[in-house]
A and B are shown apart, each in its own frame.
Chain A
Amino acid sequence: MTTKPKAAVSRLDPEPMPRRDWLGLGSLWAMGGALMFGLLGMLKLPKAAVLASPSKKFRVALPETLPAGEAFVPPGRAVAIFRDGEGIFAVSTICTHLGCVVKPNAEGFECPCHGSRFHPNGEVRKGPAPRPLPWLKVSVSGGTVMVDEGTTVPQGTKVA
C-alpha cells in the first residue's frame, strides 16, 4: 500500500488514532462485546421453556346418534369429531389461513374471516387457506373419545 502525502494537520483534526487511545478503544469494544454476548444469551427470555397453555388432550362422550358426515363439536373446543362406518376421526377447525375457527356445514367447513372453504375431509376447496385442515389423533376407550389437539395424523386415519 502506498502512503498518501499527509494533509496539513489542523488542531481540530489530529491524527486518526493516537496510540494512547488504542487501549481505551480496545476496552470499549471488549465491554461492548461482553454486553452483546450477555444480551444474546438473554434473547431467549421472551420464549418460555414451558408454554402456559391448557392441556391439548381432552376426553368427550359422543352422542348416541351421530349420523355419518355430521360433525360433533365439543363445547369450547376447536375440533369437529365425525363417526362413520369405518370409525371415528377428528378434524381441527382452526383455519390454516389465519387461525379463525371454521364452522362445519353440509358441504364441509367454512371460515368466517376470509372465506376459505374446505371439503369434509379437510381439503381446501376455495379461498386463501394454504393447507388442508389437519386430522387429529383420536383414541377410543370405554365409550369415550380422547382427542389430542397437539398431534396430527395422516388424513384418512380412522379409529374403530
Chain B
Amino acid sequence: MTPAVPEKDALREFADNLKAAPRRVLETAFRSGPPTTDRTRSTFVFGNVFLHLHAVRTHRWSLKWSTTMGLGIMSVSAFLITLVTGVLLMFYYKPYPEAAYQSIKDIHFVVPTGRLIRNIHRWAANLMVVAVILHMARAFYTAAYRRPREYNWLIGMGLLVVTLGLSFTGYLLPWDQLAYWAITIGANIAQSPREVTDALGITNYFDPGGLQRLILLGSDQVGAEALIRFYLLHVMLLPLALAALMGVHFWRIRKDGGMVRPADADEQLARQRHEETYPVFTEAPAKTYHLAAIVRGRTANVGRGPENTVPSMPHLFYAELGVMMVTLLACVAMSLVSDAPLKELANPSVPENPAKAPWYFLGLQEMVAFSAFMGGIGIPSVVLIGLGLIPYLDRETEGTGKWFGGPGGWPLVRLSAVFGLCVPILLESFAIRFGWLREWFPNIPQPIVTAINPGTLLTLVYAMYSLWCIKRYGSVRAGALGLFTCFLGGFLVLTIIGTYFRGPNWVFYWSPADWPKH
C-alpha cells in the first residue's frame, strides 16, 4: 500500500519554520512583544525575572532626586563593579604568601589592563562603603525604617556588616606590609575578649577571644592558612551572603510598597506638578488578581489613588541606569588618577609604622588605641545593637518620609551635629594633650582602663544626650535623631584623626610632614 499523499508540503513547512526560528526565539523569550506601549512595557517588566524585582509602576515621589539620592542603586552598582572586576582579578591572583604578592605585582605591571581593573576594584569597594553608610543615613533621616520596613532595616545592617567584612578580608590579599599588619591587628582585636577574661582570671577555662582568632587565622599567626581563609571569605562566602541579603532587601522594598513617602505625598506632588498624568488602568485590566483573596489586611495602595505612579519602564530604569553610569564613571575616573597601593612584601618581624587599617576602620583603631576590647568589640557591638533597636523603639508616625522628619526636625539634627562633633574632639584633645589613666597611674588595673577610656566615655555621653533629647521633645524619634547624628559625627571625627593625624607609634602629628624620618 502506498502512503497517502500529504495535503501540505512538510518540507515547505520545515523551511518556513527554520526561517521563522530566530524571530520565534525572541518572541518566546519576551512573550509580551516589543515594549512599545505602557501596557506592553508593564507586561514586559513582570514577565522578566530580573526586571520583576521592580514594581511595574513607580510612584512619582520615589523618582524625586531628594527621596533617595540614588544611594541604594549606587551601592548595588559598586557591588556589581567589584563583582566583575573581582572575578577578572581571580584569573591571575594566587592565594599563597609571597606568590600572592608577586601575582598582585604581575596584575599591576604585566597583565594588560590589570592595573586599571585592580584600581577600579579598589575604588568601587571604597565607594561601596561610602554609599552604604550614606544610604543608611538617608533611610534613617527619612524615617524609612518605620512600619512596615522595620525588618528591612535589620537586613540593611546585615548588608553593612558584610560590606565591611568584604573590605576587611580583601585588605589582606595583596600580602604586603600594609595588609599583613592591618590583619595582625584585626585578628588580635578578635582575640581582645581576653582583656576581660584575663582580668577575671578565667582565660584558661573560657577563651572566646583566642578561639575567634584561631578560627579566623587557622593558625596562631598570620600565614598561609589565614590567607586562604580570608580569600575564601572574600571571593565566596561573603559575596554569597551579600547577594542573599540583597535579594531579601530588594524584595521587601517591593512588598512594602516601594520607597517610603510622606502621607501627603500626593498632595505635595499635586501642588508642584505641571505635566499631565493619567490613571493606571486606561482600559479594563486584562487579568483579575486572584491572589488578592489571600492578602490579609491592607495592601500598600489601598485607599490611595494610583494616579501618581508612572510606568517603571522607562522612568525608573533610566534613573537607575543613570546612577549606575555615574558610579562606573566615578570609579574609572578615580582609577585613572590614583593607583591602589602596594607596599613591600609582608615581613612578619618588622611592623609597618604606623600600621593603619583601611580608612573606614581607623575610627575603630583610634578607640582601640585606648582599649582593644572596648574599641574593637564592646563599643561596635553596642552601636550595632542600638542601631538595630531604632525601628522597634521609635513607633511614632510623625515625619515619616520627610527629611529630618519628626519632633525636633532639622534644628535638632543641627544641634546634634555640633554636639556630636565637639564631644569627641574635646575628649581626643584632652587624651592627646594630657594622656590617659595609664600615664597618670602606671599600676592601674586593666579593667578600670577597659571600662573608663575616651571611647566608652564618648558612648556614654552620646547615650545621655539621646535620653535628654527624648525628654526634651517628648519623642523617641527625637532621641534617635540625636543619637544617630552623634554617631555619624563621632565616626567622622575619629576616622579623620586616625587617618590624618596619627603618625609613627600612633603619636599625634598635625601633618605627615612632621613625622620623624628614620
Query: Residues of A at under 8 Å CB distance from B?
Result: 12, 46-48, 51-53, 75-78, 97-101, 110-115, 124-128, 130-131
| B257 → chain A closest CB, angstroms | 23
Report which of A76, A99, A110, A131 forms a contact with B188, defined as CB distance below 8 A: A99
Given A48-B218, A53-B223, A126-B438, A115-B187 contact (CB < 8 Å): no
Asked if B223 contacts A112 (CB within 8 A), the reply is no
Asked if A100 contacts B351 (CB within 8 A), the reply is yes
Interface size class of B (residues with CB under 8 A): 35 or more
Chain B residues with CB under 8 A of A76: 348-349
Asked if A125 contacts B220 (CB within 8 A), the reply is no
Subset of 21 A-B contacts with CB under 8 Å = A47-B215, A48-B225, A52-B224, A75-B349, A76-B348, A77-B349, A78-B348, A98-B368, A99-B184, A101-B349, A101-B351, A112-B353, A112-B504, A113-B181, A113-B351, A113-B354, A113-B355, A113-B505, A126-B438, A130-B371, A130-B372
Asked if B442 contacts A130 (CB within 8 A), the reply is no
Report which of A98, A110, A125 forms a contact with B372, defined as CB distance below 8 A: A98
Cα of A3 to Cα of B73 in the assembled complex, Å: 52
Report which of B218, B368, B369, B504 forms a contact with A46, defined as CB distance below 8 A: B218
> B339 in the interface, Cβ–Cβ < 8 Å?
no
Which chain B residue has the least Cβ–Cβ distance from A112? Answer: B353
Given A46-B215, A78-B349, A114-B368, A100-B220 contact (CB < 8 Å): no
| B499 → chain A closest CB, angstroms | 15
Residues of chain B from 415 to 435 with CB closer than 8 A to chain A in the complex:
435
Report which of B223, B294, B348, B369 forms a contact with A114, defined as CB distance below 8 A: B369
Residues of chain B from 305 to 327 with CB closer than 8 A to chain A in the complex:
none
Chain A residues with CB under 8 A of B371: 128, 130
Cα of A94 to Cα of B301 in the assembled complex, Å: 62
Cα of A99 to Cα of B355 in the assembled complex, Å: 11
Cα of A48 to Cα of B195 in the assembled complex, Å: 25
Asked if A115 contacts B505 (CB within 8 A), the reply is yes
Cα of A95 to Cα of B506 in the assembled complex, Å: 14
> B458 in the interface, Cβ–Cβ < 8 Å?
no
| A32 → chain B closest CB, angstroms | 20
19 further A-B pairs in the complex, CB-CB below 8 A; given A97-B188, A112-B354: A46-B218, A52-B219, A52-B223, A53-B220, A78-B349, A99-B188, A100-B185, A100-B351, A101-B348, A101-B349, A101-B350, A101-B351, A111-B505, A113-B354, A113-B505, A115-B507, A126-B435, A130-B446, A130-B450
Asked if A115 contacts B506 (CB within 8 A), the reply is yes
Residues of chain B from 137 to 163 with CB closer than 8 A to chain A in the complex:
none
> B98 in the interface, Cβ–Cβ < 8 Å?
no
Residues of chain B from 180 to 203 with CB closer than 8 A to chain A in the complex:
181, 184-185, 187-189, 192, 195, 198
